[in-house]
Chain A
Amino acid sequence: MSQNLVIDIENVTAAYGALTALNGVSLSVQKGEIFGLLGPNGAGKSTLLACVEGLHTPLQGSVHVGGSNVQHEPMSAKKRLGIQLQKTALLDDLTVAELVEVYAALYEVFLTKAQIDTLLKRFDLLEKRNTLARRLSGGQQQRLSLAVAIANDPEIILLDEPTSALDPHARRAVWNEIRKMHDEGRTIVLTTHAMEEAEALCGRIAIIDGGEIVACDTPTALIASLNLNATLKATVELPLEQVYDLPHVNSARYSGQHLEVETSKPEETMSALQGLAAKSGRSIRDVMLRQPNLEDVFLKLTGRQLSEIG
C-alpha cells in the first residue's frame, strides 16, 4: 500500500439479506483528500462507509484503513477514524461537554476541561457546554456530532450525509468546519446526494448508483470527460430551424417564451445568436448560461436525474 493511500477498498460486495447493497466496489482515498460519495438514497453510500467503519462485514472483498484490514484488525483501523453517522446517534441525556469527554475517552483519549472547551469554542458550542445534547437545535446537534467526530484527533473523518435536513445557513457552517478539518491535514470522506455540496467541498468524487461506482474523478474531470453541453437560455423569438443552424448548437427548444439552446461552445453560439437576432430585428433579453455540472454527469451516466431521486 502506498504511503499516501489511507483507505483502500477492493472488490467489496455487501448485502442485507437478499438485497445486494454493494456490488464489487473498488476505490482508494489518498491522504489529505476530501473525497465525496455522490449518489441517490439507497445507492450504497452509507453501506460503503459502514464497511470502512467496521460496522458492516462485506460478503467479499477487503477494506484497509491506514494499512490495517478492517475485518482482521478492527481496533487498529478504528482508532484512525472519526465518525459521524447519518442519524445523529449520541448519548443525548449527557451535556455537550460530557459527550465530547466520553466519546474521546472511548478511544482512550482523555481530554482536559481546557481541551474540551477549545473544541467546543471551535464549533461555536462553548455557551452550550452544560446543555443536554437533546435540547440543542438541529444545526447545533450536527456541529456537536462533528466535534465528537474529531474529539479523538483522528487522521481520517467519515461523514455520512453531514448536512442533511439542515437549513442553508447551518449547511454552510458545517461546510466551513469540514474545510477547517481538511486544512488541518485530515482526510475526509463524506457521502451526499447534493451535487452542489459535492462540488463545493470535494477534490474527488465517486458517483455511486445501484451499489456500483459508475465514475470516479475530480468534478472538473468528470464533467469534461463526458463532453457535456452548456445551456444558453434567453428570451427571444426566433425560428427554431434558424437557431439549429447556428454554430455548435446540439439542440434547441422553447420553454414558454424562453429559448433553451444546448451548445458545446457557448461563447461562439451566443455571438451568432446575437447576430441572428439583430438581422431579424428581434431583441434578446434575460440571457443566462448554465455550464454542465455533476447533475448532468449523473444524468448522462445513469439516465436519471439526481435531484429527482435523491
Chain B
Amino acid sequence: MKRFLILTKSLALIQLRNGAILFWNFAFPVLLMFIYGVVMSEYMKYMTPGVIVLNALSFGLVGSSTMMLELREKSILRRLQATTLPAWQLITSYLLVNIVIGVIQSTLILVMGAVFYEVPVSTTSLFLAYPMIIVSLLTFMSLGGIISGVSPKAGTATAVGMTIYFLLMFISDMVFPVSTLPDNVKDIVPYLPAYPAVQLVRSALLDATLDEKWVTYILLLAAYGFVATLIASRLFRWEPKA
C-alpha cells in the first residue's frame, strides 16, 4: 500500500509541475465556459452538464492518455517495468490521479455554471452527479487507453482522440440537441458512449434526479468501459513500437 501511495503521489506531482498539463487540465475548461457563455449565454444552464461531459470526453480520450504515451516514449515505462512494480498498480495509480484531475475539472466547470449561468446546485444534485461524472470519466479513459495502445506516438493519439471527440461532440446531445440531427444519425446516437453520460449528468444536475432510463445508460457506459478496458489492457505496451 505504501508503494502505491508513493507512486500515486509522484504521478500527481508530475502532472502538477507540468505547465502545459496545468493549462489544458484546469485553465482551459474555465476558458471554454467563458467562450460558450459569450456565444450562447441563454443556453448555458442547459449546456453546462454537456460541457462537463464534453470536457470529460476530451480528458479521457486525449488528455489522460498523453502522459502515459509520454512515459512510454521517454522509456520511463520500460524503466518501471524493470522494477518489481506490478502493472496493475501502475495502471490503478495512474487512473486514480486522472480521476481526481477529471473531477477537479468538472468541479471548476460546475462552479462556473452555478456562479454565472444559474445552474442549480444542491446536495442531492451533487450527490447524484458526481458518481455519474466518475463513471463517464472511467469509460472515456478506457476508450483513451485503446487510442494510446494503437498509436505509435503521442501526436498520433492526439489526432485520433480529437477526431473522435469532435464527432461525438456534435452528435451526442452535448452542445447541439439531438432533435437538430438527421433522422438516420438520431437512431444511432443513443448507443454512442457520450450520449448516456450527458443524459445522466444533465438530469442529476438540472433536475436533481436520475434519468428514467438511468439503469440502461449506466449499463451502456459500463459495457463500453468493460470492453474498452479489456481491449486497452491487451494493447498496453511498456515500450514504443519498434
Whether B35 is near chain A, meaning CB under 8 Å from some CB there, is no
A98 lies within 8 A of B3 (CB): no
B82 lies within 8 A of A53 (CB): yes
Closest-CB distance, B187 to chain A (whole angstroms): 45
Assembly CA distance A79 to B82 (angstroms) = 9
Residues of A within 8 A of B85 (CB): 106
Given A93-B13, A106-B80, A106-B84, A17 and B2 contact (CB-CB distance below 8 Å): no
Assembly CA distance A106 to B86 (angstroms) = 9
B79 lies within 8 A of A78 (CB): no
Whether A224 is near chain B, meaning CB under 8 Å from some CB there, is no
Whether B10 is near chain A, meaning CB under 8 Å from some CB there, is yes
Given A101-B6, A105-B7, A90 and B79 contact (CB-CB distance below 8 Å): yes
B13 lies within 8 A of A89 (CB): no
Residue on A with the closest CB to B3? A105
How many residues of chain B have a CB within 8 Å of chain A?
Answer: 23
Residues of A within 8 A of B238 (CB): 55
Q: List B72-128 residues whose CB lies under 8 Å from chain A.
A: 74-76, 78-85
Residues of B within 8 A of A98 (CB): 10, 13
B82 lies within 8 A of A81 (CB): yes
A93 lies within 8 A of B79 (CB): no
Residues of A within 8 A of B13 (CB): 93-94, 98
Whether A58 is near chain B, meaning CB under 8 Å from some CB there, is no
Q: Which of B76, B81, B83, B242 has the most CB of A within 10 A?
A: B83
Q: List A1-19 residues whose CB lies under 8 Å from chain B.
A: 16-17
A90 lies within 8 A of B76 (CB): yes
Whether A287 is near chain B, meaning CB under 8 Å from some CB there, is no
Whether A54 is near chain B, meaning CB under 8 Å from some CB there, is yes
Closest-CB distance, B11 to chain A (whole angstroms): 8
Assembly CA distance A75 to B82 (angstroms) = 9
B79 lies within 8 A of A85 (CB): yes
Query: 1/0 per residue A78-91: CB within 8 Å of B?
Result: 11010101010111
Given A93-B18, A107-B83, A55 and B78 contact (CB-CB distance below 8 Å): yes
**CB<8 Å pairs between A and B, sample of 21:** A17-B242, A53-B82, A54-B82, A55-B82, A78-B84, A85-B75, A85-B78, A87-B75, A89-B74, A91-B10, A91-B71, A93-B13, A94-B13, A94-B14, A98-B10, A105-B3, A106-B80, A106-B85, A108-B3, A108-B84, A110-B2
Residue on B with the closest CB to A85? B79
Interface residues on A, range: 20 to 34
Q: Which of B7, B10, B13 has the most CB of A within 10 A?
A: B10
Closest-CB distance, B227 to chain A (whole angstroms): 28
Binding site for A on B (CB under 8 A): 2-3, 6-7, 10, 13-14, 17-18, 71, 74-76, 78-85, 238, 242
Assembly CA distance A9 to B34 (angstroms) = 63
B84 lies within 8 A of A91 (CB): no
Whether A35 is near chain B, meaning CB under 8 Å from some CB there, is no
Assembly CA distance A89 to B78 (angstroms) = 8
Given A85-B75, A101-B6, A106 and B83 contact (CB-CB distance below 8 Å): yes
Closest-CB distance, A146 to chain B (whole angstroms): 14
B17 lies within 8 A of A93 (CB): yes
Residues of A within 8 A of B242 (CB): 16-17
Assembly CA distance A132 to B16 (angstroms) = 13
Given A55-B78, A75-B84, A78-B84, A106 and B7 contact (CB-CB distance below 8 Å): yes
Assembly CA distance A103 to B83 (angstroms) = 8
Assembly CA distance A17 to B242 (angstroms) = 9
Assembly CA distance A110 to B85 (angstroms) = 14
Query: 1/0 per residue A52-80: CB within 8 Å of B?
Result: 01110000000000000000000100110
